Structure 1
Amino acid sequence: MLLGVSVYPEQVSMEEIDAYLALASKYGFKKVFTSMFSVEGTKEEVFAYFKKFCDIAHQYGMVVDGDCNTMFLHKMGATEKNLAVFKEMGTDIIRMDMCYMDQRDVDLINNEYGIRIELSAAFVKAIDTALKNGANPNNFSACHNFYPERYTGADLASVMDVNEKLKALNIPVGIFISSNVENTHGPWPVHDGLPTLEDHRWIDVELQVRHLLSLGNVDEIMFGNAFASEEEFKAIDQVMKASHVHVPRNDAFKDFADFFPHGDLERVPFRVDLASDVTDLEKEILFDYPVHSAGEYTYYMLRSRFTRMIYKDKPIPPRAYDQPCFKRGDVVIVNDNLKHYAGEIQIVLRDDMKVDGQRNYLGSIPQKELFLLDQMKSGRTFTFMK
């Protein structure tokens, strides 16, 4: 998962940009998006500005993604077949504000300078056409737009539809999240956040990221507005550390070793409000087992089955729970009243799962985060954040 930030040169100084990129890179952010055509001046002045900009970004190990349009392309003396000036400038990625819907898209994508072309995710048909006309699929990606005006952002269903189509074409897709710092800005002096998804406006940034991880079809996440705070960077860093793990193959299980998730894995991190009577063993199973993995069917629950094999010799005494039913988002563990399955961690998905004495209540996913469960399907791996 590539993380990125956005900066808008016409509104801030180069010194502020330098400090911001230094901070972002400290927390694993590797990409900076910027608006090239909004910088005024002659061709020479604009070139000098972005040459310095790119040098700063590269100093921090970041790639530069420059928002461009045809007018700016030609202003800089470039054509769809000749991007030499952008190479000299140090630009790594050119995001075209609009597609051409013809051979010019292919010419851009197949440029000889190694500059990656980023197209708007909204133009799936243009992307498909470019591929059919010989565009190199390894030299371009797609990215959703951001929406500064309230109530104009995308809905989840539409984004999911586009993402699935792009995944079918093997095209990486990026999306924007929004900082909640007061008076952040975008390319215009508006201060209402800058997400792709309207429902992400004003929710915690780490929850925005965990939601996008749960979708399973996003490759890049970028802040749309500037400047995000160090606290937000830290929160996202914690999520990314929880969401990615390397698990070695467990040969102790012999013929079953390949069934256990292993290798470099991406996990959806859930927060859980723990009950007061959870035992140390239950906490160990909940938090320390690296790859909870949803079973074949997810009708009543997300069922992490492998923990019962690992902890089969550990006692899990039954514990009373004074509710008639578990609710969606409750996290439970099978106890010794159902010994064959004891140790399974389960996340309840329905409000009518009766309390039958076979499961101990461990806690609940916070109400405001229950929507993360909507995208969890069979085979998805997940974890719990302490």
Structure 2
Amino acid sequence: MKGISIFPGLDYSVRENVNYMERAFRNGIEYIFTSVHIPEADRKRVKDEFDIILTEAEKRKMKVIVDISKGFFDEFRWEDRRIYALRLDFGFNDNEIVQLSHKYNIQLNASTVTEDWMKRLMESGLNVSNLTVCHNYYPRNNTGISLELLTERNRFFKEAGLKITAFVPGGEFRRGPLYEGLPTVESHRNVHILACAQELLYAGTDIIIIGDSMASEKELEALGKLENGKWLLPVLLFEKAKEIYKGFLIQEHTQRTDVSEDTLRSEKIYKDKTVEVFNTGIRAAGTVTIDNKHYGRYAGSLQIVKKELSADYRVNVLGFVCDGGLLVEKIKAGEKFTFYPV
């Protein structure tokens, strides 16, 4: 499940935000995250635009998550608005959280909630059937959480039967005032959206939301194509490789069951035509290669390199997986994968 973020009163007009919502909807994206308590936002615009966003989301049957702190909560009549969940940020005490859980679907901050606090809320009467959790995003560089912490927290939430949301940064259009991306995990800040999203899924996250306030058409399309159980690898191809092998690469591939130490090997072999020699350079980790005609019966074999290998006149370099080293090692024996040219 996938989502976008829309922030009234900030970088984009309400018309631009509605157009963005429509583009996301066309790419199969079903969630919208928004916040009505950002300090830098124009308060008048927030109030004017918020209901328009809710109305337009309802037309498309998109689910809206609203981030709110205690100081701004009473500015809105929540019972009059159709929202999927209220994400309760700072300022709410235990008793207020418990009471709200009996009136609305609520989300708690997955990045800061502790097991002890959750147990205390449950003992106080928290309505767990109306509860999900949502990690923070982190606008300032070097402040995001580690993947290890996210995985640890997610493990606890999964055991509690809670649905988990987290954020990936946009690549092209970043939200002000810092414009440094809005990831949950710090190591994702400058990595391709597909790599970030799939690492979050691998760590047990259920809903992936683009944190920044606008994503490119290419990013929306890429996120929309993600499917559970199939790895989608962003790949930068050399032009000649794209001309000849793009159709082969975007087919569904399967990691061989006899997993190689040095490379990920596809079960599928390219057989359309003779693989002529070109671009037989050094193979860094993440390099996508195909064996050429000089490798005899191995010609047409497709690999992704796991560690640096020297040049081999029998192996053509097609391009590079743009995953920041996050995905290839996670693909297990017999798992499906395909390539997404960027």
What's the TM-score, normalizing by structure 1? 0.67
Supply the distance in 1 between the matched residues of 2:69 and 2:156 (Cα, whole angstroms).
25
**Percent identity of paired positions between Structure 1 and Structure 2:** 22
Partner of 1:97: 89
Partner of 2:195: 210
Residue 261 of structure 2 aligns to which amino acid in structure 1? Y
Partner of 1:376: 330
Q: How big is each residue's C-alpha offset from its partner over 1:33-79, in whole Å with a ceiling of 9 and x where there is no partner?
A: 222346999xxxx9997555422321233222111234444x369xx
Residue 136 of structure 2 aligns to which amino acid in structure 1? N
For the pair shown, the structure with the greater C-alpha radius of gyration is: 1
Residue 31 of structure 1 aligns to which amino acid in structure 2? Y
SS in 2 for 1:350: coil
Supply the distance in 2 between the matched residues of 1:20 and 1:322 (Cα, whole angstroms).
40
Match of 1:153 among 138, 141, 144: 144
SS in 2 for 1:7: coil
Q: How far apart are residue 93 of structure 1 and its match?
A: 0.8
Q: How big is each residue's C-alpha offset from its partner over 1:334-383, in whole Å with a ceiling of 9 and x where there is no partner?
A: 678675x77653212022478595xx4352315x6442336523144321
Supply the distance in 2 between the matched residues of 1:318 and 1:183 (Cα, whole angstroms).
42
Match of 2:210 among 219, 223, 237: 223
Which structure has more relative contact order (CA 8 Å, sep 6+)? It is 2
Whether the 8 Å contact between 2:134 and 2:166 is mirrored in structure 1 is yes
Residue 97 of structure 1 aligns to which amino acid in structure 2? D
Partner of 1:301: 263
Partner of 1:346: 303
Supply the distance in 1 between the matched residues of 2:75 and 2:106 (Cα, whole angstroms).
17
Whether the 8 Å contact between 1:2 and 1:31 is mirrored in structure 2 is yes
Partner of 1:5: 5
Distance 1:102 1:19, change over 3 A: same
Whether the 8 Å contact between 2:266 and 2:302 is mirrored in structure 1 is yes
SS in 2 for 1:239: helix
Q: How far apart are residue 7 of structure 1 and its match?
A: 0.8
Distance 1:275 1:224, change over 3 A: closer
Partner of 2:183: 195
Q: How far apart are residue 120 of structure 1 and its match?
A: 1.0
Supply the distance in 2 between the matched residues of 1:11 and 1:277 (Cα, whole angstroms).
39
Unaligned runs of 5+ in 2: none
1:268 equivalenced with 2:253 (yes/no): no
1:62 equivalenced with 2:57 (yes/no): no
Distance 1:19 1:330, change over 3 A: closer
Whether the 8 Å contact between 1:194 and 1:225 is mirrored in structure 2 is yes
Q: How far apart are residue 317 of structure 1 and its match?
A: 5.9
Distance 1:159 1:19, change over 3 A: same
Partner of 2:320: 365
For residues 1-386 of structure 1, the aligned pairs below 5 Å read 1-9=1-9, 14-15=14-15, 17-37=17-37, 50-73=50-73, 75=74, 85-98=77-90, 105=97, 107-109=99-101, 111=102, 115-122=104-111, 123-125=113-115, 126-127=117-118, 139-180=130-171, 184-185=175-176, 189-201=177-189, 203=190, 207-215=192-200, 216=202, 217-226=204-213, 228=214, 232=216, 234-240=217-223, 242-244=225-227, 265-274=229-238, 276=240, 284-288=247-251, 290-293=252-255, 295=257, 297=259, 299-305=261-267, 307=268, 314=271, 326-333=283-290, 339=297, 344-352=301-309, 355=312, 360-365=315-320, 369-373=323-327, 376-379=330-333, 380-386=335-341
Whether the 8 Å contact between 1:64 and 1:92 is mirrored in structure 2 is yes
Whether the 8 Å contact between 2:195 and 2:233 is mirrored in structure 1 is yes
Q: How big is each residue's C-alpha offset from its partner over 1:78-134, in whole Å with a ceiling of 9 and x where there is no partner?
A: xxxxxxx5232222210011497857655544x2x5x42211112142446656887
Supply the distance in 2 between the matched residues of 1:48 and 1:273 (Cα, whole angstroms).
46
Whether the 8 Å contact between 1:214 and 1:375 is mirrored in structure 2 is no
Distance 1:169 1:101, change over 3 A: farther
Residue 330 of structure 2 aligns to which amino acid in structure 1? M
Supply the distance in 1 between the matched residues of 2:272 and 2:18 (Cα, whole angstroms).
56
Whether the 8 Å contact between 2:286 and 2:325 is mirrored in structure 1 is no
Residue 32 of structure 2 aligns to which amino acid in structure 1? V
Supply the distance in 1 between the matched residues of 2:273 and 2:48 (Cα, whole angstroms).
67
Supply the distance in 2 between the matched residues of 1:240 and 1:183 (Cα, whole angstroms).
17
Distance 1:346 1:284, change over 3 A: same
Distance 1:302 1:140, change over 3 A: farther
Whether the 8 Å contact between 2:2 and 2:208 is mirrored in structure 1 is yes
Whether the 8 Å contact between 1:316 and 1:342 is mirrored in structure 2 is no
SS in 2 for 1:58: helix
Supply the distance in 2 between the matched residues of 1:139 and 1:119 (Cα, whole angstroms).
11
